């Protein structure tokens, strides 16, 4: 049986559809099972495995299906090139640290990238070989760079990804984790002596959060601004759009992470 070799030298939507040979990311197959431009299923953070990539090939295996996506997350530096290939009939998408789909194998930002994998139909097993070109040179260049404010800013985790992960954690009822993502000033906003209890009680009244577009508007050394399109589906059946969609983050040096400091309407 013929297998499709996906040699992914560019990172666009890939679809293997019963042909043989070599297909680059910017050539779509003229088959009804083509992969969509954007994933049709949401990638659950619980199905994302963190891996370490360098210039040595790393191979991961798993099961891809049309109804459930699998993902791999890895840290990369600006200027590195991501290469990967698989003989399986699967669809792949690659996201930047700001949760944007990318269309080139040259990584333009420092931070955590995510590969999302699904099947065009049914389910299938796969093996995915991956590596980062320029890993050693990029690391050397980073070590030789002075610790300027711009370098510190670019090396910090993506503010947009932090916000997205925060609301995914709320959907999974991990309230203590998300409470710790709030600055002390934000935690005190309720004025209640039982602030955490009130916080957990309110989120328990929400059936789920529909997470839309999440994007970084501005980022500096210790502050970032993120716009997030959020809709709350309450357990009563009512839905409400979060009008305070602009989120102001501050960097916490002790915990080495972004914290919610305030929210306003953009």
Output the 3-class SS for 28-86.
CCCCCCCCCCCCCCCCCHHHEEECCCCCCCEEEEEEEECCCCEEEEEEECCCCEEEEEE
* pLDDT confidence band for 165 (50 / 70 / 90): very high
How confident is the model at residue 190, as a pLDDT?
75
Amino acid 152: pLDDT: 54
The architecture (CATH level 2) of 155-264 comes to Roll (3.10)
Q: How confident is the model at residue 2 (pLDDT cuts 50, 70, 90)?
A: very low
Give, as one character, the DSSP assignment of residue 157.
P
Task: Give yes or no for residue 230 having a pLDDT over 80.
Answer: yes
Say what the pLDDT of residue 180 is: 96
Residues of the chain with CATH 3.10.450.100: 155-264
Res 143 pLDDT > 80: no
Neighbours of 195 (CB within 10 A): 16
What was the pLDDT predicted at 154? 56
Specify the CATH class of 4-143 in words: mainly beta
**What pLDDT sits at residue 149?**
45
This prediction's pTM: 0.46
Closest CA to 11 of 80, 60, 62, 65: 80
* Chain region(s) in the chain for CATH 2.60.120.380: 4-143
**Which has more confidence, 21 or 197?**
197
Q: Which residue has the higher pLDDT, 249 or 111?
A: 249
């Amino acid at each position: 049986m013929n297998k499709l070799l996906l040699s992914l030298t560019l990172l666009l939507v890939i679809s293997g559809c019963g042909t043989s040979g070599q297909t680059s990311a910017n050539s779509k197959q003229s088959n009804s099972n083509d992969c969509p431009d954007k994933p049709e299923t949401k990638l659950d953070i619980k199905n994302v495995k963190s891996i370490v990539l360098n210039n040595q090939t790393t191979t991961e295996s798993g099961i891809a299906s049309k109804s459930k996506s699998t993902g791999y997350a890895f840290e990369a530096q600006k200027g590195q090139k991501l290469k990967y290939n698989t003989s399986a009939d699967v669809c792949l998408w690659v996201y930047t640290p700001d949760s944007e789909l990318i269309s080139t194998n040259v990584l333009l930002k420092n931070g955590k990238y995510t590969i999302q994998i699904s099947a065009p139909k049914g389910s299938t097993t796969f093996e995915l070989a991956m590596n980062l070109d320029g890993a050693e040179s990029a690391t050397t260049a980073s070590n030789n760079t002075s610790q300027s404010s711009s370098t510190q800013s670019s090396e910090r985790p993506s503010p947009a990804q932090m916000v997205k992960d925060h609301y995914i954690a709320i959907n999974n009822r991990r309230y203590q984790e998300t409470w710790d993502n709030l600055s002390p000033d934000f935690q005190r906003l309720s004025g209640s002596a039982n602030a955490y209890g009130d916080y957990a009680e309110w989120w328990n009244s929400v059936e789920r959060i529909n997470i839309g577009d999440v994007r970084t508007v501005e980022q500096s050394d210790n502050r970032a601004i993120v716009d997030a399109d959020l809709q709350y589906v309450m357990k009563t059946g009512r839905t409400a759009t979060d009008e305070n969609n602009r989120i102001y983050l501050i960097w916490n040096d002790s915990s080495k992470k972004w914290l919610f400091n305030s929210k306003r309407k953009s």
